[in-house]
Structure 1
Amino acid sequence: MKYLLLCFISLFACNETTKKNQAKNDDMVLADVEKSAILTGANQTDVYLKLLEGKNVGVVANQTSVIFKDASEQNHTHLVDSLLALGIKVTKVYSPEHGFRGTADAGEYIEDGIDEKTGLPIFSLYGKNRKPPVEFLKDIDVMLFDVQDVGVRFYTYISTLHYVMETAAELNIPVIILDRPNPNGHYIDGPILESEVKSFVGMHPVPIVYGMTIGEYGKMINGEKWLENEIQSELTVIPLKNYSYDSEYDLPIKPSPNLPNATSINLYPSVCFFEGTTVSCGRGTEMQFQIFGAPFLPENQFDFSFTPQPNFGAKTPKHQGEVCYGRDLRNVERLNEVKLDWLIEAYTSSPDQNSFFNDFFSKLAGTKKLQKQIEEGVSVEGIKESWKPGLESFAKTRSKYLMYN
């Protein structure tokens, strides 16, 4: 009996030792993963909490503003919730396009409100105010900016950043950017924005794809003195760890309702041109920015069809309820350029070329020249050749603000 008892105790002890060793091994594996995985600025609380303690904090945030709980990036808590739990005095929240929870359509007017979970006031920066007025920042000691960007000029979060920095600089309020990866950071391409078509979808003389994180972009806004009256913001960037411009980063949270996956984000700089035309880019489907088409494109030439219907993120999609003929781009290899072939193909195939483009197109392109070049039949190669001097000049400007390899 004693022998059996000793065997049982020995077996139990061995099992416990095995469990402890396994837990230790799991911890070591996780630690190794975290050493190599990209670490966002938001996750580095040990770096920036000391900059917030004892201060009234304003946070510019949306649904992507999270702190990840593990290396898988599947489990997370919202930045605002985490800061409150850590004793940081967040007093106001500011929301960009698509709103604080990221559910509004592109271009949809966003009202001020109250966050149901925290009771904090939410001030919209995509409603009657694009630039936060002075009263929005009243009693704020520091502004914290944490929004996932996609590295494309006409994606409006960088315009929101500009205006936040501008008002904060006017009031001598420091700004902290929690940096996040750029999923289109592996190249630069497109025409440089010209001042005559400056708008909220293009405020700065940069190409369509600029190859910088939002933290680096904030440094460039500051360093190039693009803020009004050339004022400069007191800016701090909490940098990423383990990030390079060639990193293929699959965003764990949709940055906006109509960019549902990595393919749509990679195609977005090229397919978004269709927003300035009579052709649909897939809004009103589950393939947004991964397809294009229109009812008037010839069915015998375009072998893919879809019918836009109202859905999450597109309440009144272009060509609603009409069968559109076009192209399915979901299997296109990862792009390293702004691709013009699809736009030109749709234009040359349109039965009414005079109404193909609308006034929004030049704002997206950042120049009136691109529409003219397409209408005159200039080749893709010829168009891209005309971009080279601007891209070479921008590359020199960009190099001054790069923080990663």
Structure 2
Amino acid sequence: MSHELVAQSTKAIPGDQQIADYLPMIFDKRVGLVVNHTSVLGKTHLADTLLSLKVPIKKIFAPEHGFRGTADAGAHIDNGKDEKTGLPIISLYGSHKKPTKADLEGIDVLIFDIQDVGTRFYTYSSTLHYVMEACAENSVKLIILDRPNPNGHYVDGPVLEKEFASFVGLNPIPVVHGCSLGELAKMINGEAWLDRGIQCDLTVIPVKKYKHADKVHIRVAPSPNLPNDQAIGLYPSLCLFEGTNVSIGRGTTTQFQVAGTNVEGLGDYTFTPKPLPGAMDPPLKGKLCYGFDLTKTDTRALGFSLKYLFYFFEKTGKKESFFTSPAFFDKLAGTNELRKMMLEGKSEKEIRASWQEGLKEYKKIREKYLIYR
């Protein structure tokens, strides 16, 4: 499967394809890779490519969903060994989100190459944060092979408040942050967001022929429940439903492209979640859900929208019971103000107005670290 990312009429060239730029930095170093199934050049995994070039790779570190990208969201993943290369795989998920001193023993350089989708609650950026922190604490250099952000054309949503920091949001950035992971890493360093303000020895290999305004097509699904560009575009608006009684299609073949709940008569579309790879125990499993088919929605025009959230909240009674996990909803939102204002009967316009000042301040910070203008 080709992994070229097409940006409008030009072809963006991800950092991992620019081997001549980073090979001199690593050819005589002991290397660890923070990678998953998206870390491919053409049809070949980065690990296989570097091994063929005699780069001394010692370990693979894998994020949520694992090295091959097949595990359910939130599933426990054990450490193991890659059958093809024999390399040890260390899972950076569950109770082991950050590489330890022992994990990094014998490593001079870590290479980070993972496709992100540009939202705060997508956990690959939290993995990046912890990897940066571990590298800073253990004097390991970090090289990020940057990739385009498919939601990089806009910035929106509430900025995370410190008390709601979690693995689905560690830093004071909005839901849609408008950065590549390389830019975000520069921001984390520059704003001293790592523990005790420590600094990571960081090099970013930028994407060539790419601007944030470009329309990015991703050929390799970044995780099991974001199977295509449509799901990735809808993800910012639909992920908040994960803390409610609404299904966003886990357990169907239209994950993050439908929304519905088991209240008869809502919307004009029905679906029934069932166990599928990547979602073996989906919300509302086996229940007929009524709602909307969003597979044809113009996601760039939609942006980060609360309209579906408001629709289901209002149609199901405007009650606290809509939020099946209030604490998780607040972590996803990065604040409890969104939920509280909805329960108080505030309009979407009023809620949006409440986060504009924070967004304005964030955009000033973001400007300092942009690579792709």
Deviation at 1:330, TM superposition (A): 1.1
The aligned counterpart of 1:50 is 24
Quick one: which of 271, 280, 293 aligns to 1:328?
293
Alignment deviations for residues 104-128 of structure 1 (CA, whole Å, 9 cap, x no partner): 0001111100000000000000133
Query: Are the equivalent residues in 2 in contact too, given 1:111–1:127 (CA < 8 A)?
Result: no
For the pair shown, the structure with the greater C-alpha radius of gyration is 1
Compare 113-122 and 326-335 and name the one that shifted more.
326-335
Deviation at 1:353, TM superposition (A): 2.0
Query: Are the equivalent residues in 2 in contact too, given 1:133–1:167 (CA < 8 A)?
Result: yes
CA RMSD across the alignment: 1.3
The aligned counterpart of 1:400 is 368
Query: Are the equivalent residues in 2 in contact too, given 1:267–1:335 (CA < 8 A)?
Result: no
Inter-partner Cα distance in structure 2 for 1:201 and 1:242: 30
Alignment deviations for residues 242-299 of structure 1 (CA, whole Å, 9 cap, x no partner): 0011111110100000000000000000001110101111100011111111112x41
Higher RCO (C-alpha 8 Å, min separation 6): 2
Q: 2:242 is matched by which residue type in structure 1?
A: E
The aligned counterpart of 1:390 is 358
Structure 2 counterpart SS, 1:335: helix
Q: 1:373 is matched by which residue type in structure 2?
A: M
Query: Are the equivalent residues in 1 in contact too, given 2:211–2:372 (CA < 8 A)?
Result: yes
Deviation at 1:352, TM superposition (A): 7.4
Inter-partner Cα distance in structure 2 for 1:373 and 1:332: 27
Query: Are the equivalent residues in 2 in contact too, given 1:109–1:126 (CA < 8 A)?
Result: yes
Gaps of 5+ in 1: 1-32, 69-75
Structure 1 counterpart SS, 2:153: coil
Q: Is residue 195 of structure 1 aligned with residue 157 of structure 2?
A: no
Quick one: which of 312, 315, 321 aligns to 1:346?
312
Quick one: which of 64, 83, 87 aligns to 1:97?
64
Inter-partner Cα distance in structure 1 for 2:20 and 2:142: 18
Moved over 6 A (4+): none
Cα distance 1:36–1:327, how it changes in 2: closer, same or farther (>3 A)? closer
Q: Is residue 128 of structure 1 aligned with residue 95 of structure 2?
A: yes
TM-score by length of 1: 0.88
Query: Are the equivalent residues in 1 in contact too, given 2:74–2:94 (CA < 8 A)?
Result: no
Task: Give the structure with the larger helix fraction.
Answer: 1
The aligned counterpart of 2:279 is 314
The aligned counterpart of 1:303 is 268
Residues 5-404 of structure 1: pairs in structure 2 closer than 5 A: 36-68=10-42, 76-296=43-263, 298-299=264-265, 301-336=266-301, 337-351=303-317, 353-357=319-323, 358=325, 359-404=327-372
Deviation at 1:335, TM superposition (A): 3.0
Structure 2 counterpart SS, 1:326: strand
The aligned counterpart of 2:4 is none
Compare 90-99 and 347-356 and name the one that shifted more.
347-356
Deviation at 1:351, TM superposition (A): 4.4
What is the aligned residue count?
363
Q: 2:237 is matched by which residue type in structure 1?
A: S
